[in-house]
Chain A
């Protein structure tokens, strides 16, 4: 089941890349399509940040992950490299759990 989902999603991502190279440009050059598609990752990434920080299952919770996200936000504002942002969040969560 997990493999089926992974392979389906991979195929979908590949076909989207191929579609851009292959389809007649006018299909995707519609102004509304051009302006809407870049908004999708913004909304999805923001929703992922929120749900994965402030929930467990179906419950809204506030725990060490919120502090970890705060530290990650500071790292992002300081223009830290990707790995530093992720590692600082993980380290924050690990340290707070030790307290």
Chain B
């Protein structure tokens, strides 16, 4: 194996281990929200995109309907479609390989793949990161869920207070400019204002519609900015 590939494997394992630890908290939060062991593990196997999974169980745990949770999860998953666009020419996969590759199209694999200069290294980084993450994410979920399942009352450990911290940790890296920061503050305020008056889960969808309208109508479509 070349030195470049050994470095990729090392990075992929590092990311996998970090996300395995993060999956422990997903398993714990999901179980605390009332999902069974099978349901929790099914989400990590089938959905396999962290922010969506946390949102799904967060909404259910807070008393929202499962469909409000599902809608929020899907909206959070929309960014993966953009990652797919960036990866499609790099990966060049067809048929069954494409169907398999699709499940690995998430933040971490995209970041690892587009950071390489040579296409062959990009593909290797994508598959290595995807495989390491998928394995450790699911193992972490299972361990977190099993451990929490054994507890009589997870609330004693404060696990019901964990989801907002998880969302904050997912949000923070996206706030490195003034505009995202302002959008985050506005979204939080709008959601809290709506909350007493609409069914549970709906404030999130109202916020999603408003930010989409803002994105489409308020941002000037300056030519040249989109080429990359």
A94 to B208, CA, bound (A): 32
Q: Mark B133-161, 1 if CB is under 8 A from A, else 0.
A: 00000000000000000000000111111
| Residues A32-57 near B (CB distance < 8 A) | 32-55, 57
Report the interface size for chain A: residues with CB under 8 A from the other chain.
78
Given A9-B56, A28-B85, A57-B63: A44 and B80 interface contact (C-beta under 8 Å): no
In the complex, whether B51 has a CB less than 8 A from a CB of chain A is yes
Q: How far is the CB of B21 from chain A (nearest CB, A)?
A: 4
CA separation between A9 and B59, bound complex, in Å?
A: 13
B207 touches A89 (CB 8 A): no
Q: Does B37 contact A (CB under 8 A)?
A: no
**In contact, B211 and A21 (Cβ under 8 angstroms):** no
A19 to B172, CA, bound (A): 27
Closest chain A residue to B54, Cβ basis:
A48
Nearest CB to that of A30 among chain B residues? Answer: B226
| Chain B: number of interface residues, binned into ranges | 35 or more
Shortest CB distance B85–A (Å): 5
Partner of B76, one of A25, A29, A41, A88: A41
Does chain A have a CB within 8 A of B125? no
B106 to chain A, nearest CB (A): 8
User: Given contacts A32-B216, A89-B158, are A45 and B170 in contact (CB under 8 A)?
Assistant: yes
Interface check B219, CB cutoff 8 A: yes
Are B196 and A49 in touch, CB under 8 angstroms?
no
CB distance from B154 to the nearest CB of A (A): 9
Given contacts A1-B66, A32-B219, A48-B164, contact A83 B25 (CB under 8 A): yes
What is A's interface to B at a CB cutoff of 8 Å? 1-14, 16-23, 25, 28-55, 57-60, 64-65, 68-69, 72-73, 75-76, 81-83, 85-95, 97
Mind listing 27 A-B residue pairs with CB under 8 Å?
A2-B66, A6-B47, A16-B74, A18-B84, A20-B84, A20-B85, A21-B88, A33-B82, A36-B211, A36-B212, A40-B212, A41-B76, A41-B79, A41-B174, A42-B171, A42-B183, A43-B208, A46-B171, A46-B191, A47-B204, A49-B168, A55-B62, A73-B168, A90-B157, A91-B158, A94-B158, A97-B158
* Nearest 5 pairs of A and B residues by beta carbon: A20-B84, A36-B215, A5-B66, A93-B158, A89-B165
